[in-house]
Amino acid sequence: MTHSEIKSWLLQTDPGRLQTLYAQADRARQDALGNHIAITGNLEISNHCVRHCLYCGGNCENQRMQRFRLSEKEIWQGVQHALTLGCRALILESGEDYGVRRDWLASLIKRIKDETPLEVTLSLGERSVQDFTTWRQAGANRYLLRFETSDHRLYHLIHPSRPGRHINRLTLLGQLRDLGYEIGSGIMVGIPGQTYDTLARDIELFGELELDLIGVGPFRIQPDTVLCQKASCLDAGADQVPASHDMTRKVMALSRLVRPDADIPGDLFPAHEDIRFYHTVLQNGANSITPDLTPQTYRCQNPDGTRPDSDVVITAYYDQMAKIVVSLGRTLADTP
Ligand code: SF4
């Protein structure tokens, strides 16, 4: 797909034409991956972070957020929960937290790989090559690092570098690939300053990077962030991409067309949108779901109020997702 074709789909508003896009994406998903919907557990192992990202409630200046870091025992409970749900893989996610020690995590990854059939995806930010190497040797399969936007100026505005560390995430993704990881990345749809051209370029990059996992979701303003106060300063005016469900559907469908066999979760980021949204995107190219397995005690520490705070809600959510999967004539895959 060319840049102008992608951009033209992003600007398309005719419902009939868009249905052809969604049908193409659904067929591409079916041809490449079949009827199964994979289940990947998402376990937040720490919400400490040293970074100042303008859009993220986890930024290090947010004093209102109560921070946690899971113990090995708590992580192991999450592993058991993932196995109970029939997860194929587990994402271990955190902010950029250097309290998550290289060797400590390596022994945990090794234990998961030795004692369970789970694939392990890490999403821990911009760590050192030595960290990445050790974790890969311990058995980690995949690393998820969102490049957020292909617009370098916008990226550095919303995602300031740490002093003396100017890291290019695209370069880092290449290094992760060279180390033998499958690589995942993604963007937020409609972040202030995102234009149709940059979004089209983002989708082209998904193809060029040959991503194994693509995480996309609509931008949501979070309290206690700089963008909560100043989003309008970055707004791209008439060229600004809306942070809407409709635009996210288009981006997921186009992502499927540029990467037919990639894992594209319907609900990875941000979690817990309206359940009807997932019903739709699972027919527009998405092929997996990612229940949140973070322990209840910590889940409710999120101050933005968008995250369900009880296991009852999580279980109900998962049950609803399972019903949606069945209603679509699809099956929940329970093997790697
Ligand atoms: S987006 Fe990630 S790196 Fe940036 S502040 Fe949030 S948790 Fe930290």
Cα of 96 from ligand 1 centre, angstroms = 7
What is the predicted pLDDT for the residue at 303?
Answer: 53
- Cα–Cα distance, 11 to 222 (Å, whole number): 27
46 lines ligand 1 (CB under 6 A): no
**Strand ranges (E), 9-152:** 36-46, 89-94, 119-123, 142-144
53 lines ligand 1 (CB under 6 A): yes
- Cα–Cα distance, 299 to 145 (Å, whole number): 22
Q: Which residue's C-alpha comes closest to atom 7 of ligand 1?
A: 95
Query: Ligand 1: which of 52, 53, 67 to mutate, most ligand atoms within 8 Å of CB?
Result: 53
Cα of 296 from ligand 1 centre, angstroms = 21
Contact 149/142 with Cβ under 8 angstroms?
A: no
Q: Which of the 8 DSSP states describes residue 290?
A: -
Closest by Cα among 131, 121, 126, 134 to 183: 121
57 lines ligand 1 (CB under 6 A): no
Indicate the domain borders of the chain.
3-325
Contact 230/193 with Cβ under 8 angstroms?
A: no
- Cα–Cα distance, 197 to 250 (Å, whole number): 14
What is the predicted pLDDT for the residue at 228?
Answer: 83
What is the predicted pLDDT for the residue at 335?
Answer: 44
Output the six-digit token pair for 67: 């921070």
| Continuous segment of H or E residues that includes residue 255 | helix 245-258
Closest by Cα among 191, 269, 271, 186 to 230: 191
Residue 218, exposed/middle/buried by CB under 10 A (0-12, 13-18, 19+)?
A: buried
59 lines ligand 1 (CB under 6 A): yes
- Cα–Cα distance, 187 to 41 (Å, whole number): 20
Q: How far apart are the first and last CA of the chain?
A: 30
What is the predicted pLDDT for the residue at 336?
Answer: 40
What is the predicted pLDDT for the residue at 310?
Answer: 61
Q: Which residue's C-alpha comes closest to atom 5 of ligand 1?
A: 59
What is the predicted pLDDT for the residue at 324?
Answer: 84
> Digits of tens for pLDDT over the chain (336 positions)?
999 999 999 999 999 999 999 999 999 999 999 998 988 999 999 999 999 999 998 999 998 888 999 999 999 999 999 998 889 999 999 999 999 999 999 999 999 999 999 999 999 999 999 999 999 999 999 999 999 999 999 999 999 888 878 888 999 999 999 999 999 999 999 999 999 999 999 999 999 999 999 999 889 888 888 888 877 788 889 999 999 989 999 999 999 999 999 999 987 544 455 677 778 888 999 999 888 888 878 876 655 555 555 666 667 777 777 888 888 888 887 544
- Cα–Cα distance, 272 to 304 (Å, whole number): 12
Whether the ω angle into residue 218 lies within 30 degrees of 0, i.e. cis, is: no
Q: Which residue's C-alpha comes closest to atom 2 of ligand 1?
A: 95
What is the predicted pLDDT for the residue at 234?
Answer: 87
Q: What is the CATH number of domain 3-325?
A: 3.20.20.70
Q: Which residue's C-alpha comes closest to atom 4 of ligand 1?
A: 53
| pTM metric for this prediction | 0.93
For tokens 């995102």, what's the residue?
194
Query: Ligand 1: which of 46, 51, 55, 304 to mutate, most ligand atoms within 8 Å of CB?
Result: 51
- Cα–Cα distance, 250 to 242 (Å, whole number): 12
Q: What DSSP assignment string belongs to 184-242? A: EEEEEET-TT-BHHHHHHHHHHHHHTT-SEEEEEE----TTSHHHHHHHHH--GGGBPP
What is the predicted pLDDT for the residue at 85?
Answer: 85
Query: Ligand 1: which of 42, 52, 59, 92 to mutate, most ligand atoms within 8 Å of CB?
Result: 59
